[in-house]
Amino acid sequence: MNFIVVGCGRVGSELAYRLYQNGHRVTVIDIDASAFDNLPPDFRGRTLEGEPLNQDLLRRAGIEQADGIALVSSSDSVNAVVAHTAREVYGISNIVVRNYEPQWREMYEVFNLQVVSSSSWGAQRLEELLYHVKMRSVFSAGNGEVEIYEFTVPPAWVDKPIKELLPNENCIPVGLTRAGTALLPNMNIQFVEGDIVLVSATLKGIEELRNRVAHSDS
């Protein structure tokens, strides 16, 4: 497949190299030629120096035949405009944008773009790892608005059904491991000692669940 990566900093160079290693044709664009030094010596994709807002440069990069484009420069405005141009002018639907400054994230949402906000997601994960050791996130969707959490059932919950213990909103069970075997739980199933539960929850839902677990432990 043909991919374009706009921005050759730490994220862009790593992404471009991973795509190249997996057999894809990759073109990397950056306004600063020295940024291409971030690419490993054995990278054999194309590199183009120039302003990514320049449509002649985008056509030279092969945007008219591209299967996807990643916008990972350090300029949120450039990322948003080029992504919008790629979709509206060139008909590319496979577009992923890196949000650099968290305060500009809403701008991408206005354009209805697929966004990875590494700063916001990273801060949330670090927060969870610092003080939520009993209930850990194992999967994050979007930018962490919804995550899947894993925890071992507290002793006080044994013999009680899921529906009595989980919050009514913003938190749903998606899996239960019992004696090494996983199953899809229903709301009436009763916990037994050693059960490991997976729940999908928003931040509000998981905070309420954590409060319930903490209360049961006290």
pLDDT tens, position by position, 101-122:
777 777 777 777 777 777 777 7
- pLDDT confidence of 141, banded at 50, 70, 90? confident
User: Which domains, from first to last, does the chain contain?
Assistant: 2-119 (3.40.50.720), 132-217 (3.30.70.1450)
Residues sharing a CB contact under 8 Å with residue 128, sequence separation 6 or more, in sequence order: 136, 137
Angstrom distance (rounded) from CA 100 to CA 143: 13
pLDDT of 155-186, one tens digit each?
889 999 998 888 888 999 999 999 889 999 99
pTM beyond 0.85: the answer is no
For 198, counting Cβ atoms within 10 Å of its Cβ (0-12 exposed, 13-18 middle, 19+ buried), the class is middle
Q: Is 149 helix (H, G, I), strand (E, B) or coil?
A: strand
Per residue in 74-107, pLDDT (tens digit) is 898 899 899 999 999 999 999 999 888 777 777 7
Task: Specify the pLDDT at position 65.
Answer: 93
Cα distance between residue 106 and residue 170, in whole Å: 22
DSSP string covering 28-81: EEES-GGGGGGS-TT--SEEEES-TT-HHHHHHTTGGG-SEEEE--S-HHHHHH
Residue 131's pLDDT is 58
